[in-house]
Amino acid sequence: MAVKKVAGEGLTLKHKIGYAAGDAGGVMTLILVSSYMTRYVTNVLTINFATLSVLLLIWNIWDMVNDPLMGTLMDKMFAKSSGNKDKFRPWLLYSIAPIVLGMIAFFSVPSLLSGFGAIAALFIFKIVYELGYTMMNIGMGSLLGTMAKNDPERAQLSSARGMGSTVGGMIAMVLVPQMLGRFGETTTGYFWSAVVCAVLGGFTIFIHYLWTEERNTASKLVKADDESQKVKFSDILNVFKKNRAFLALSMHSIIIVFGTTIYGQFNAYMYADVLGDISLMSYTSIISMSLTMIILSIAPAIVKKMGSTVRVIRTSLLIGLSMMLGLFGLMLSTNVAPTVFLFVSGIGYALINLSVQMQWGLVGEAIDYNEYLTGKRTEGAIYGTFSLTRRVGQTISQSLAVLMIGWIGYNPELTNAGVSQAGGTILGIQVMTLVVPAVAAIGSWLCFKFVWNLDGSTGKELSVWRNSKVAPVAEVEAVVETV
């Protein structure tokens, strides 16, 4: 087997910033796609909701298949190399071109094509963008296991990723509404929003590639001639059968992504059609993401005080959903000022979404637990499968959101003419923006309360196994390339 010598004795500030840059760059592009694509396609391209719903279904089915296959492909390609090169970092570099070019092309469609040609172009360009994003996202997520050598380092990288995601999201959520407010929801506004997000995102992902390092030698040991260690596509199904912790994370992922995606899809409608000013989204984003950054910066201390990451997540979910439901009840009984809405909803959403920002260390635990159960180390396949569960939540929520916009009677022509939507439509937007994320938070809380199993005796057994598995640094550094 071929093994690289261990580099460095600990994570450096450069490592942490580099790892944070991955999600920062990815989220800069993802915000525009996830929060504004529906309005872009229906209001600017004037494609009807039914057609968009079909497109979303096809896109998301492809993404659901693509994610676990991409992760397994990374594992298999690395196994063929006998472990004599980096496992995930090369894929980060490969992802930049399709992300940047695919996104800019997607939001250039109205300037180039119309009718069926526009629909076909949308389909192709979105596939290109998602291919690049999947490549980057799975490579970045799986990289955590090859960078961290122990639990503290895993926690540090998980927090760094959360911080990066928050910063990247804040940049996009501040820039895009301001650009659309300045240029209008027009071809020009969306095109320049796409250029800015794509270029900034691509550059930041390149920093992620440059400033990260696969330094965990133990996780890179590959026995190419050992049948028990060979990666198989059927391993994906076995993860769900044997790994209860991963099952809890997967259920949580589907539910919470459903809720947060619905929130993201309808938030633009809330500010543009209910509150009357889409540029206000910038301020609620600043509030929610600033709070997230503050919590993540003190997360290690909070986790130490409360005993586990899962307990912190459960508490934040309960507080967040209470704020969202309370705000909804208040809006039913009185007129709520935009400043009150953006402040309360921003904090409530931040607390609910904290479960997403803090879940990455738990994914690392589930990966270790899977190796403990099966004897195989397959970060790519497991992270790819976890990404699939997120796609399931996105598929359901995006398709449902598009249909719901039509069901509640939303009329783009009224918005374009400066006329208010009907009362029932306004109520529907409020329900989708506030109630649905709260219900999703309840479901996520149940997953961590009753399905997750690594807080008790099983977690202690895993910790003992993990400590016994790690070889002394001196022994690892003494490993030389052999066959």
Determine contact, residues 380/74, Cβ cutoff 8 Å. yes
User: What pLDDT is recorded for position 476?
Assistant: 38
**Positive or negative: CA dihedral 408, 411, 416, 420:** negative
Range scoring the smallest mean pLDDT among 120-129, 180-189, 332-341, 385-394: 385-394
Asked whether residue 37 carries a pLDDT value surpassing 90, the answer given is: no
What is the distance between the alpha carbons of residues 221 and 1, in angstroms, rounded to a whole number? 7
pLDDT digits (tens, 9 = 90+) for 86-124: 888 999 999 999 999 999 999 988 666 677 888 888 889
Nearest partner of 202 among 95, 321, 280, judged by Cα: 95
What is the distance between the alpha carbons of residues 80 and 82, in angstroms, rounded to a whole number? 5
Nearest partner of 164 among 103, 205, 133, judged by Cα: 205
Asked whether residue 480 carries a pLDDT value surpassing 50, the answer given is: no
Confidence of residue 220 (pLDDT cuts 50, 70, 90): low
DSSP state of 337: P
Residue keyed to tokens 């920002």: 357
pLDDT digits (tens, 9 = 90+) for 46-70: 888 778 878 877 887 777 777 777 8
Looking at every residue in the chain, the average pLDDT score rounds to 83
Range scoring the smallest mean pLDDT among 46-55, 246-255, 445-454, 467-476: 467-476
User: What pLDDT is recorded for position 3?
Assistant: 36
Average pLDDT over residues 138-143: 88
User: Nearest 5°: phi and psi at 185?
Assistant: -80, 75
Q: How many distinct helices (H) and strands (E) make up the chain?
A: 20, 0
126 torsion bin: left (phi>0), alpha (psi -120 to 50), beta (else): alpha
Residue keyed to tokens 């320049």: 192
CATH number belonging to domain 13-217+232-469: 1.20.1250.20
- DSSP 3-state of 214: coil
What is the distance between the alpha carbons of residues 29 and 175, in angstroms, rounded to a whole number? 12
152: its two tokens: 């503290």
Q: At what angle do helices 49-80 and 235-242 cross, to 10 degrees?
A: 100
The share of the chain scoring above pLDDT 90, in percent, equals 35
User: What pLDDT is recorded for position 217?
Assistant: 59
Query: Domain limits of the chain?
Result: 13-217+232-469
What is the distance between the alpha carbons of residues 354 and 256, in angstroms, rounded to a whole number? 10
Enumerate residues 6+ apart whose C-beta is below 8 A from 374: 235, 238, 242
Q: What angle do CA 145, 146, 151 make, to 5 degrees?
A: 45
Asked whether residue 226 carries a pLDDT value surpassing 70, the answer given is: no
Confidence of residue 256 (pLDDT cuts 50, 70, 90): very high
Asked whether residue 204 carries a pLDDT value surpassing 90, the answer given is: yes
Enumerate residues 6+ apart whose C-beta is below 8 A from 405: 38, 42, 49, 269
What global pTM score does this model have?
0.71
Determine contact, residues 137/384, Cβ cutoff 8 Å. no
Q: What angle do CA 125, 401, 97 make, to 5 degrees?
A: 20
What is the distance between the alpha carbons of residues 130 and 132, in angstroms, rounded to a whole number? 5
User: What pLDDT is recorded for position 472?
Assistant: 44
